[in-house]
Amino acid sequence: MSDSAPAQNPIDVTVPSAARMYDVLLGGNNNFASDRIAVEQLMVTAPNSRELAVNNRAFLRRVVRTIVGEYNIDQIIDHGSGLPTQDNVHQVAQRLNEHCRVVYVDNDPIVLTQGRALLDENDNVAVIEADMAETDRLLSHPRVQELIDFDRPLAALFVSVLHCVDDQKAAAMVRETVGRLAPGSVVVICQLVSDDPDVRDKVTTLMHEQTHGQWGRVRTEDDVDAYFEGLDVQPPGLGDVSLWRPDTEVLPRQRTHEWTEYGGLALVPAVPASSTT
Ligand SMILES: C[S@@+](CC[C@H](N)C(=O)[O-])C[C@H]1O[C@@H](n2cnc3c(N)ncnc32)[C@H](O)[C@@H]1O
């Protein structure tokens, strides 16, 4: 992408965004010099960031295949969908079920411009601009209401996004979304974690500085476990998602493990899991 944005877009090319930095890590070209410089700085503290991003994207493909192919879900809300890349959620899902409905949600203007051009390719797909933290507003969006039937199970994806928002918003958005889902719905959550406090602090500070506060924090595995409270976590459980039901894809091995994407897949039980014990 050239380093000048179309005049009608409220895009500040001098301020890195999480979406475009992730695009840099995935080898995409929807990013600016500011994003590339920020990624270089990030990789000083977290040199495995490229492999981590590629592995996260592979997890997203595997988990969508599982949701549609094994859990027979045919409607998906992808919170913080990111820039279009190869094998986007609706493409993976519709390969298994051409009727699968997918709503992509993001608040980054470039995601929306590129997404509408590349993702919104059939009637069963919508790309909408919304703050994923505003659950009521998001779920009552006309396109969400048109495509998603909340009386039936659906999948809510929060893949590599909760670290973009603060603790209160992250917890509230998962809780409020889960509260709207029919039993049998699938919730997928993963986010950046580290057991090294130095990595957590340095990356969180860097990302806050770079994105002018448009970020949350690197958390711990325990923090992420808490998001799954009341849900029925499915095998293989919660862990580094690069190891979640791996298949035969040849993926770059992470050279270091200073941080990982940690999480997994859970079902919404008919009775909240905590009250069944
Ligand atoms: C690291 S990318 C993850 C993309 C995709 N989910 C994946 O795993 O490949 C995080 C995405 O979340 C989006 N995002 C961050 N905060 C958001 C918010 N409050 N509402 C909607 N999207 C948000 C960013 O714009 C970015 O596209």
Ligand 1 atom with least separation from CA of 85: 9
**Protein residue with its CA nearest to atom 19 in ligand 1:** 131
pLDDT at residue 8, rounded to an integer: 41
Residue 6: per-residue pLDDT = 38
Looking at the CA of residue 17, tell me the nearest atom of ligand 1.
25
Beta bridge partners of 219: 193
Atom of ligand 1 nearest to the CA of 111: 27
User: Which of 106, 110, 136, 242 for a ligand 1 pocket mutation test, highest count of atoms within 8 Å of Cβ?
Assistant: 106
Q: What is the CATH number of domain 18-275?
A: 3.40.50.150
The pLDDT, as a whole number, for residue 248 is 67
Cis, peptide link before residue 246, omega less than 30° from 0: no
Among 44, 127, 124, 48, which Cα is nearest to 81's?
127
What is the value of pTM for the model shown? Answer: 0.93
What is the 18 CA–ligand 1 centroid distance (Å)?
7
d(CA 39, CA 93): 30
Q: What is the pLDDT along the chain (277 residues), one digit of tens a residue?
A: 333 333 344 788 899 999 999 999 999 999 999 999 999 999 999 999 999 999 999 999 999 999 999 999 999 999 999 998 889 999 999 999 999 999 999 999 888 888 888 777 789 999 999 999 999 999 999 999 999 999 999 999 999 999 999 999 999 999 999 999 999 999 999 999 999 999 999 999 999 999 999 999 999 999 999 999 999 999 999 999 999 998 866 566 666 678 999 999 999 999 765 544 4
Q: How far apart (Å, rounded) are the C-alpha atoms in residues 38 and 187?
A: 31
User: How many Å lie between the centroid of ligand 1 and the Cα of residue 106?
Assistant: 6
Q: Give residue ranges with CB within 6 A of ligand 1.
A: 18-19, 22, 56-57, 60, 80-82, 105-108, 111, 131-133, 159-161, 164-165
- The confidence score (pLDDT) of residue 2 equals 35
Residue located nearest, by CA, to atom 16 of ligand 1: 164
Report yes or no: 12 and 32 within 8 Å, Cβ to Cβ: no
In this prediction, residue 271 carries a pLDDT of 74
The 3 state secondary structure assigned to 242-256 is HHCCCCCCCCCCCCC
SS3 75: strand
Q: Which atom of ligand 1 is nearest to the CA of 59?
A: 8
Helix (H) or strand (E) holding 60: helix 49-69
114 C-alpha to ligand 1 centroid (Å):
14
> Which helix or strand (DSSP H or E) is residue 187 part of?
strand 186-193
SS3 of 231, please? coil
- Do the beta carbons of residue 28 and residue 85 sit within 8 Å? yes
